[in-house]
């Protein structure tokens, strides 16, 4: 089972995956970041595919071409499963066509509530009593794919964006690796990932 991890930041989720014993084959990033250093230190192939070569940021970004380049690199390496780990670029159809039902993502909210960016801020502004962490299959629509696992996290009256986000990340670093392991096992046994997940919601003590 060859697993690719896509990162853009500090690599703490990647570290959690490695700590859980996940055998990561390749790590790819859209920018220079610590996540690539984590991969290199673990003797994992680390690929930097910068957006600057595809129009950079904003309206000039060539999303389809960039997504094709990412897809081609992963297909060349015979990747079976793709795990987004704080990847900062929304990818287009080419990678979804190459890895249908085999791209995982983690999100700091209880989807379908608060999709997209700034979900922790949205949860605080909405004054919800609980938020959480969701692992789902990535689809063309952002944060709208089938939900694989969720954990509820209480929101406290004195929470800030930072304090709440940190508690979510603590849960995420356990939930995401566990979900990846289960998804990889499903693929290894010839099953579709989505079909192997039931009883998706848990609650922290």
User: Which residues are marked as active site?
Assistant: 107
Contacts of 147 (CB under 8 A, 6+ apart): 111, 134, 135, 136, 200
- DSSP label at residue 121: H
Contacts of 43 (CB under 8 A, 6+ apart): none
Report the alpha-carbon distance of residue 173 to residue 184 in Å, rounded.
17
Which among 153, 155, 147, 154 is positioned nearest to 199, based on CA atoms?
Answer: 147
Beta strands in 58-182 (DSSP E): 81-85, 103-107, 130-137, 147-154
Chain centroid offset of residue 103 CA: 8
């Amino acid at each position: 089972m060859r697993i690719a991890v896509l990162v853009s930041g500090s690599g703490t989720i990647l570290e959690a995956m490695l700590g859980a014993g996940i055998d990561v084959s390749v790590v790819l990033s859209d920018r220079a970041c610590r996540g690539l250093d984590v991969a290199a230190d673990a003797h994992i192939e680390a690929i930097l595919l910068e957006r600057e070569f595809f129009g950079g940021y904003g309206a000039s970004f060539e999303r389809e071409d960039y997504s094709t380049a990412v897809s081609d690199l992963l297909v060349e390496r015979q990747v079976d499963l793709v795990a987004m780990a704080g990847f900062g670029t929304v990818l287009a159809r080419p990678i979804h066509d190459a890895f249908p039902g085999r791209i995982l993502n983690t999100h700091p909210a209880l989807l379908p509530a608060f999709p997209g960016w700034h979900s922790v801020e949205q949860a605080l502004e909405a004054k919800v009593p609980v938020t959480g962490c969701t692992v789902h299959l990535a689809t063309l629509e952002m944060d709208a794919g089938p939900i694989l696992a969720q954990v509820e996290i209480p929101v406290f009256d004195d929470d800030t964006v930072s304090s709440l986000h940190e508690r979510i990340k603590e849960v995420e670093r356990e939930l995401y690796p566990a979900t990846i392991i289960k998804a990889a096992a499903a693929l290894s046994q010839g099953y579709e990932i989505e079909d192997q997940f039931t009883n998706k919601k848990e609650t922290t003590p």
